[in-house]
Structure 1
Amino acid sequence: MEIQQPIGGPLRGFLESTRRVGSRPALFVDGKVHSYEDLGRLAGNIATTIRKTSPPSMPLVALLAHRSLTAYAGVLGILGAGKGYVPLNPKLPTERLLRILTLAGPDTLVVGKEAKKHLELLLPKLPQRTSIICPDLEDLESVSLAHPQHQFVVGSAMAEGSLTDGSSREGNDPIAYLLFTSGSTGDPKGVPVRQSNLAAYVGYIADRYGVTEEDRFSQMFEMSFDLSVHDMFVCWERGACLYAMPDHTVMAPSKFIRDHGITMWFSVPSVIGVMEKLGMLKPGAFPTLRGSLFCGEPLLSRHAQAWQEAAPNSFVENLYGPTEATIAITHYRWTPATSPALSKAGITPIGQAFLGQATCVVDAELRSVAAGENGELCLSGSQVTQGYWNNPEQTRKQFVTLPDRGDQVWYRTGDLVMEDQDGCLQYLGRIDHQVKIRGHRVELPEVEFTLREASRSQQVAALAWPVKEGLAEGIVAFVAGGAEGEAGAILQHCRRVLPDYMVPSQIRFLEHLPLNVHGKTDRLKLRELLKEEPR
């Protein structure tokens, strides 16, 4: 298969689809269908307004919106203005959003009406004068008077203009989006994904799956989760329609899939487990699906098989990739006859690298290991980003050269894998304290940093617990020297600064945390304490 690298930025596909099938549906959201022409018209106005409020030297614009017309038009409009978008999830605590805004430094914020209350909480604390663009709001007079240091642009005051590709300058490779992942130092890490990174991914995936304007894509991921980027841009690359799922359907989507004739499905694997428990995975339940993708956490082989039986007309693929490698970079196609035997410990393989991308399994000295040996997975290629946002120290640590691979730069994933004789990668776990919870990457040291702040104890530990069939369902925290009565205040502080999936489900207080022979917290003993608890 020849790799066709798209020319231009991620907007190129949307603009080409608008020219080719402009009257066809591009987006279904809030019960309404919007054509490519209609969506592009609003995005063009947003882009033109941004150009008037933000100088070319500012590379980023933040987007505070959730499953709305403004959310999707905002992404397109920000890119059309030649900027990268910084998605702000309104479900996150205000303090977390403020920290992201401080680290990213945008001077413009696009806001959907569904996030107005969150905007009002942010406004008094924004780190700099900010232009606030509200495409679907009109009455902001009282808010504007209360915060005269900021500029407000309501829908009727927006400039009009057409949507164009904001990456047209030759040799220019602007940021497409900046996502923040959990960081081990207490601060989230910013990952700037360039338009060339995204173009490489979208072009390969759209070709691989033969996407056409007849397809209907599910869209269940939050915009702060990079898998949402796949939903939008692979869909719009070929003139298909994106179906934004209402929040109440995300974990139980059977009716939504059937009612809307979804053809291309993408979710975290844990959704399968929830649907299975609810009795939704009947054989032949989803006949309209022709493609089913799973990513973000290990895919159990029995879940892959259950989904295959529920969607008999669909291929099932397990994708793998960290944010630093642009959504996903390896794939494995499930084959009922052979895949169960290839799945180690009941976990579906993560397969092989996309064409044009590269993997390498290395030992502690970063030297390649032989097939069949365990090692850390390193990644390279046109999808791999250049480093972290304003964090050269972390960039030097994670983006390295390998002794036996010349000057090529590789990203160290921290994932433990084994590559078999056929070049198929098996995921074995992590080599550090990072875990996946509900598909989200979580650095346990960041949770521990927050626990120290809240408890004023230096001896704290956060463990992924319970872990069922290789999947972490939550976090349990241990604190030394505290009293049970302090748990409520500690958890309240955690909820104020951490996303809900990072907040511990319980706090356990011990006089001292157990130490191993090296004087470090003995996490194995703490795990044994949890195992001894009655279920």
Structure 2
Amino acid sequence: MGDLPGFIEEYNVDWAWLTPSLVQTLSPEKVPSLKVIVLGGEAVTQDILNRWFGKLRLINLWGPGEVVVASTWYEYSSINDIPTNIGRPLCGYTWVVDPQDCTKLAPIGTVGEIIIQTPTMLREYLNNDEQTHDAVISALPDWAPKHSDSSWNRFYKTGDLASYNEDGTINFISRKDTQVKIRGLRVELGEIEFHIRELLEGVQQVAVDVLKTDIGVHLVAYFCYNDKMRSNHQDDVFLPLNAKLHDAILKLTGSLHLVLPSYEVPTIFIPCSYMPGNTSDKLDREGIEELHLESGPGNDS
């Protein structure tokens, strides 16, 4: 990966399946042979559409390894498309259900868990009956299609949260395991991150986490105006809070209160010069937690 653009140019590569984080390190001018980019492994962000749409075909694939990594498909038709739209199923059925009860379908527009019904799903987790029991559902609800082939008659609970769009496509929100409780109230970190990306002009990376201190529990939003990632963070990770950033945070806070309940609006916003990344070129959540130890009281909105 030391010179991916050079490899693409040398071998005249015209089709590539890459993570969004890796695509953010490329520029269309450096890889003119590319005609198709397939995105997968992470949520797509608006900056990718801004940079790449109209220059080639952009396709978003979603799916868990336990089923098939291309379970749904969406090809962007406009720069104004929702970046996190994962489209419709390629094989089998996908449903969005109540995260606490997979027998209940989630209403259109509300956040639920994606479950998959297909014969291509795993049989079991090897030597892990508990995980198999939690993820594989054999007793289908009445509304689910039934097939003579028994391999169709199971659900796989993906752990991914999403919502239906009005046209029947699915909008990915986040992993279910990013849900936390604050003062007894369930908070979805991925949904907060989604709204910050939508509302904070120019932002490219966002990570929301929980900070526990002696005086209480706080939601902290780390954000970055570029696509830089580092596996080892240094003293220059935090940006000074100047007047422009302060005004942007105040405006963002007001906008978040219009789309989120007050307990889901972060009380601390920390601008960063880059984000912690892992060896897979993805955001490093453990690295974010380490930032808590260095950020101190942070920049309270």
1:375 aligns with 2:112: yes
- Taking structure 1 as reference, are residues 423 and 504 closer, same or farther at Cα in structure 2, changes over 3 Å only? closer
Shift of 1:267: 0.6
Equivalent in the alignment of 2:175: 430
Shift of 1:379: 1.0
Unmatched 5+ stretches in structure 2: 147-152, 180-188, 191-208, 210-218, 233-277
CA contact (8 A) 1:320 1:330 kept: yes
Shift of 1:420: 1.6
Equivalent in the alignment of 2:8: 257
Equivalent in the alignment of 2:92: 357
- Taking structure 1 as reference, are residues 472 and 357 closer, same or farther at Cα in structure 2, changes over 3 Å only? farther
> Hey, which bits of structure 1, 4+ residues long, moved more than 3 A?
433-436, 463-469, 471-476, 499-509
Partners of 1:464 and 1:260 lie apart in 2 by 44
Partners of 2:164 and 2:33 lie apart in 1 by 35
CA contact (8 A) 2:84 2:173 kept: no
CA contact (8 A) 1:465 1:473 kept: no
1:388 aligns with 2:125: yes
**What does residue range 216-295 of structure 1 map to in structure 2 within 5 Å?**
247-249=1-3, 253-275=4-26, 280-282=27-29, 285-295=30-40
- Taking structure 1 as reference, are residues 421 and 500 closer, same or farther at Cα in structure 2, changes over 3 Å only? closer
Equivalent in the alignment of 2:156: 411
Partners of 2:220 and 2:70 lie apart in 1 by 24
Equivalent in the alignment of 2:41: 296
Pick the structure with more helix per residue: 1
Shift of 1:467: 5.7
State the SS of the aligned residue for 1:532.
coil
State the SS of the aligned residue for 2:168.
coil
Shift of 1:414: 1.2
Partners of 2:297 and 2:13 lie apart in 1 by 42
- Taking structure 1 as reference, are residues 331 and 358 closer, same or farther at Cα in structure 2, changes over 3 Å only? same
State the SS of the aligned residue for 2:95.
strand
Shift of 1:409: 0.9
Partners of 1:305 and 1:503 lie apart in 2 by 26
CA contact (8 A) 2:49 2:79 kept: no
**What does residue range 130-145 of structure 1 map to in structure 2 within 5 Å?**
none
- Taking structure 1 as reference, are residues 417 and 507 closer, same or farther at Cα in structure 2, changes over 3 Å only? closer
State the SS of the aligned residue for 2:105.
coil
Among all aligned residue pairs of Structure 1 and Structure 2, give the percentage whose two residues are the same amino acid.
23
**What does residue range 41-56 of structure 1 map to in structure 2 within 5 Å?**
none
1:321 aligns with 2:66: no
Equivalent in the alignment of 1:420: 165
CA contact (8 A) 1:466 1:475 kept: no
Partners of 1:358 and 1:352 lie apart in 2 by 9
CA contact (8 A) 2:20 2:40 kept: yes
Pick the structure with more strand per residue: 2
Shift of 1:416: 1.1
Give the greater-gyration-radius structure (CA). 1
State the SS of the aligned residue for 2:172.
strand
State the SS of the aligned residue for 1:351.
strand
State the SS of the aligned residue for 1:416.
strand
CA offset digits 1:81-136 (Å, max 9, x no partner)? xxxxxxxxxxxxxxxxxxxxxxxxxxxxxxxxxxxxxxxxxxxxxxxxxxxxxxxx
CA contact (8 A) 2:50 2:79 kept: no
Unmatched 5+ stretches in structure 1: 1-246, 437-443, 445-462, 477-498, 510-525
RMSD across aligned positions (CA): 3.9
Partners of 2:220 and 2:17 lie apart in 1 by 25
TM-score scaled to structure 2, two decimals?
0.57
CA contact (8 A) 1:268 1:295 kept: yes
CA contact (8 A) 2:231 2:279 kept: no
Partners of 1:272 and 1:327 lie apart in 2 by 18
TM-score scaled to structure 1, two decimals?
0.34
- Taking structure 1 as reference, are residues 426 and 394 closer, same or farther at Cα in structure 2, changes over 3 Å only? same
Shift of 1:530: 6.3
CA contact (8 A) 1:464 1:472 kept: no
Partners of 2:36 and 2:288 lie apart in 1 by 39
